[in-house]
Amino acid sequence: MTNRKILFDFDKIIPRQGTGSRKWDALENVFGSNDVLPLWIADMDFSSPKAVSTAIIERANHPIYAYNTQEKSIYQSVIEWAKKRHGWEIEEEWILLAPGVVPSISLSIFALSEPGDGIIIQPPVYPPFFASIKDNDRKVIENPLLSKNGRYEIDFEDLEQKLAEPNNKLLLLCSPHNPVGRVWSREELKKVYELCQKYEVDVLADEIHNDLVFQGHKHTVFASLGTPVCKQSVTFMAASKTFNVAGLNFSFIIVPCKRRRGLIQNWITKLHISRNNVFGGIGTEAAYRDGEAWLDALLIYLEKNADTLVDFIQTRLPEVKVSKPEGTYLVWLDFRAYFTNDKELQKFLVQTAKVGLNAGRNFGTQGEGFARINIATQRSVLLEALTRIENALLNYKKI
């Protein structure tokens, strides 16, 4: 029998300082202090699958990094991965390459809406969702999620009202959802799909976390809800979160509708961003072709981290509220029993507990008193961070 733990040693600390890591090397800038333990930005403290570095090193050994083309085999690897992991059949011509999901969201907003149009989001949600709407002169329309004892659900009544408003042209869906860790069920997505069909609102589905789903849950590709595919959808996918290769700046925009695809392609052309990083496609293809066993082992490790965190909080910090994530490696912590003011909470986390988490307020007004922790790190690091929070809270006078 193969021993996964030895094949993939996620407990091994891999120092990242000095590698230009935003998470580890920008602490002074981000938190105003170098002595915080960083569990914030959404990348992992684990090595990518060996196949990724092998493929990149092999290409890097050739000393010319000039203009490159993207091989057909890259597209093929995405098609095979989507079919194998998500049961979704993509046609090659639907795939557009892009330098990342956030820029792809902006491109799609340019292409499928006009300045002044409303774009619906479901906060608390990934902060660039707000920025990509506001910065492009569209209007943020909030359909806040409802928390039921810490587990978040979609407010369908409110969603229908927002979709029915003619000025609201797009729904920007986060699936699985960052930061609340929900893997939307097929039934929930089907309801969203039906409402969007009814009011003719296109859906931009950010599915960057689609592979990071825990036992008992299944990711449903939004576009797959149509027959045979939802033409009113644009799907964003990447190997970046799954295989920890965000620095390769490589992602996919999957657009089944020819007209919509043409509109997005026009923006790619206009902005002259059709060329991709020479290593992006190589690393992505290697990950999709040879990274599956690594991913299966990673998911077991991440889920154990999620259990460790929830158990620690429920037994040792019961006033901090947490719900076990169904997917992603991001967990939403509710500190409102101690702090109602986000600035106070951040100050406490950074200066007293000496941990660097994401401030909840950045995910929308609903995040006041919350923080997001990234559990994609060695379990020993996670436990060190939790112990720091526990010790600091023990000395903190409850308000």
| Residue 126 CB, nearest approach to ligand PLP (Å) | 4
Which one, of 1, 40, 2, 49, lies nearest residue 21 by Cα? Answer: 40
Query: Rounded to whole angstroms, how far apart are CA atoms 144 and 312?
Result: 29
Q: Is residue 239 close enough to count as binding ligand PLP by CB under 6 A?
A: no
**Nearer of residues 8 and 129 to ligand PLP, judged by Cβ:** 129
Q: Which two tokens stand for residue 75?
A: 């597209």
Total interface residues for ligand PLP by CB under 6 A: 13
Binding to ligand PLP by CB under 6 A, coded x per residue (else -) over 183-222, reads -----------------------x-x--------------
Residues 6+ positions from 106 with CB-CB distance below 8 Å: 132, 135, 136
**Nearer of residues 291 and 393 to ligand PLP, judged by Cβ:** 291
When binding is defined by CB under 6 A, the residue of 96, 102, 121, 254 that contacts ligand PLP is 102
When binding is defined by CB under 6 A, the residue of 234, 246, 278, 382 that contacts ligand PLP is 246
Residues 6+ positions from 363 with CB-CB distance below 8 Å: 123, 124, 125, 126, 127, 179, 370, 372
Q: Which two tokens stand for residue 250?
A: 């490589």
Go through the chain and tell me how many residues it has: 399
| Residue 237 CB, nearest approach to ligand PLP (Å) | 10
| Residue 358 CB, nearest approach to ligand PLP (Å) | 10
Q: Is residue 100 close enough to count as binding ligand PLP by CB under 6 A?
A: yes
Q: Is residue 278 close enough to count as binding ligand PLP by CB under 6 A?
A: no
Q: Is residue 126 close enough to count as binding ligand PLP by CB under 6 A?
A: yes
Binding to ligand PLP by CB under 6 A, coded x per residue (else -) over 10-49, reads --------------------------------x-------
Plot region of 272 (φ>0 → left; ψ -120 to 50 → alpha; else → beta) = left
| Residue 43 CB, nearest approach to ligand PLP (Å) | 8
Q: Is residue 159 close enough to count as binding ligand PLP by CB under 6 A?
A: no
Stretch that binds ligand PLP, among 98-106, 157-165, 259-267, 295-303 (CB under 6 A): 98-106
**Structural element, H or E, at residue 236:** strand 233-237
Which one, of 171, 252, 248, lies nearest residue 210 by Cα? Answer: 252
Alpha helices in 278-378 (DSSP H): 278-290, 292-316, 342-347
Q: Is residue 95 close enough to count as binding ligand PLP by CB under 6 A?
A: no
3-state secondary structure 122-189: CCCCCCHHHHHHHCCCCEEEECCCEEECCEEECCHHHHHHHHHCCCEEEEEEECCCCCCCCCCCHHHH
Buried b (16+ CB within 10 A) or exposed e, 93-115: ebbbbbbbbbbbbbbbbbbbbee
Q: Which two tokens stand for residue 118?
A: 């409303």
When binding is defined by CB under 6 A, the residue of 39, 55, 101, 253 that contacts ligand PLP is 101
| Residue 4 CB, nearest approach to ligand PLP (Å) | 26
| Residue 255 CB, nearest approach to ligand PLP (Å) | 17
Stretch that binds ligand PLP, among 29-37, 99-107, 188-196, 218-226 (CB under 6 A): 99-107
**Nearer of residues 240 and 377 to ligand PLP, judged by Cβ:** 240
Stretch that binds ligand PLP, among 94-102, 110-118, 145-153, 314-322 (CB under 6 A): 94-102
Q: Is residue 245 close enough to count as binding ligand PLP by CB under 6 A?
A: no
Phi and psi dihedrals of 342, rounded to 5?
Answer: -65, -40
When binding is defined by CB under 6 A, the residue of 70, 106, 108, 178 that contacts ligand PLP is 178
Q: Which residues of this chain interact with ligand PLP, rule CB under 6 A? A: 42, 100-102, 126, 174, 178, 206, 208, 238, 240, 246, 251
